[in-house]
Amino acid sequence: MNRKDFITFLKVAETGSVTLAAELLGRSQSSVTRCLQDLDTRLGFDLFERVGRRISLTAEGVAFEEEARRMLAMLDDLPARTRARASQTEQPLTISATYALGTGLVPQAIARWPAADRPREIRLMQAAPNAVGQDLRSGNARIGLASLPLDVPGVKAERLYSAPLVVALAEARAAEFPEGEAVSLADLGKQTVVTMLDQTRLQGRIRQALDTAGMTPERTIRANSSVAALQLARLADSIAIVEPITAYGATPEGVVLRPLVEPIDFTFGFFAAEGADATRSTQTFFDLCEDTLEALIPHIRRIDGTSLSET
């Protein structure tokens, strides 16, 4: 697979049409079709399926689209990275983070970094946890921030943390759940409850806690991002159970947070590729992230054997 293959695939995915993609790329329709067929053969699955008069990505195609975009970005950046290494000039600080950590933590940490001391260029990419690991393995990122578990060989944890989930609700409803008092899942029985969509991560632990509490929400909304969950709490007369990083680091106006009685922890960490050289900017960034966590997140704790004071 080469750069041309990725560009062709992404243009077809974007337009939903081989004919239109070929026109925009200045290529023949047959060459675009042949490229897609070759990709299907190499990958061992179909990237597209026909839906009426258009073609649409298969489930595998949707997953491949994110990987293709990341590979294309890495290939486009390869000459600049090579020249920087050859000339021993400063390389960009490349960070790959999950959406929660990239939204709620990374901007807060960078804001603590004096502008004069920061690397001249910082790049932030956001992705699913295992894609963060792949970015580290491929060299597309120097720093990774992801939730656990992170099952990617060749990636090592630098620091690991845990903090409890919280309840978010519209400010107009704050009197129903007084400040300073923890909210129990049992108190949410007649509410519309927003939880996470991913069954393999937070949703599974939330579901288990609800079952233990013997509580079935009257209505449920499931979202695959905490940002969406917080907005639903603000706008849809609902109560959201969310991870604490986005909750405390990127709370929208009009939303208040309350601690949760049930101990449901969000676990995450900072990662690097095995064998990667530690740099001063990398360690500085990790320290800034830890300082940010300590300042923002109640009951944050470090779980890799190193103490971190609770707030």
Residues forming CATH 3.40.190.10 domain(s) in the chain: 91-161+267-302, 166-263
The matching CATH number, chosen from 3.20.10.10, 3.40.109.10, 3.40.720.10, 3.40.190.10, for 91-161+267-302 is 3.40.190.10
Confidence class for position 232, pLDDT limits 50, 70, 90: very high
Residues forming CATH 1.10.10.10 domain(s) in the chain: 3-66
Phi, psi of 215 (to 5 degrees): -115, 125
Please check the confidence at residue 168 and state whether its pLDDT lies above 90: yes
CA triplet 206, 208, 212: central angle to 5 degrees? 115
Taking a C-beta distance cutoff of 8 angstroms, is the pair 30, 24 a contact?
no
Taking a C-beta distance cutoff of 8 angstroms, is the pair 192, 217 a contact?
yes
Q: Are β-strands 93-97 and 219-223 bridged in parallel, bridged antiparallel, or unpaired?
A: unpaired
Amino acid at site 215:
M
Q: Which of 70-74, 103-107, 223-227, 258-262 has the highest mean pLDDT?
A: 103-107
pLDDT digits (tens, 9 = 90+) for 273-306: 988 877 888 999 999 999 999 999 999 999 976 6
Amino acid at site 160:
L
The secondary structure of residue 104, as a DSSP letter, is: H
Class in CATH terms, 166-263: alpha beta
pTM of the shown model: 0.73
Q: Can you tell me the distance from the alpha carbon of 309 to that of 302, in angstroms, rounded to the nearest whole number?
A: 9
The residue behind tokens 């709490």 is 233
- Count the Cβ atoms, other than its own, within 10 Å of residue 151: 9
Name every residue whose Cβ is closer than 8 Å to that of residue 260 and which is 6 or more positions away in sequence: 164, 165, 166, 167, 182, 183, 184, 185, 241
Taking a C-beta distance cutoff of 8 angstroms, is the pair 196, 245 a contact?
no
pLDDT digits (tens, 9 = 90+) for 194-213: 988 764 567 778 888 888 88
CA triplet 204, 206, 207: central angle to 5 degrees? 65
CA distances from 55 to 25, 46, 174, 197 (A): 18, 12, 48, 27
Can you tell me the mean pLDDT for 219-245?
92
The pLDDT of residue 83 is: 67
Q: Can you tell me the distance from the alpha carbon of 33 to that of 19, in angstroms, rounded to the nearest whole number?
A: 9
pLDDT digits (tens, 9 = 90+) for 91-132: 789 999 999 999 999 999 999 999 999 998 999 999 888 889
Query: Regarding the domain delimited by 3-66, which CATH topology (the fold level of the hierarchy) does it fall under?
Result: Arc Repressor Mutant, subunit A (1.10.10)
Taking a C-beta distance cutoff of 8 angstroms, is the pair 167, 226 a contact?
no
Q: Can you tell me the distance from the alpha carbon of 59 to that of 39, in angstroms, rounded to the nearest whole number?
A: 15
Confidence class for position 30, pLDDT limits 50, 70, 90: very high
Choice between 278 and 29, residue whose per-residue pLDDT is larger: 29
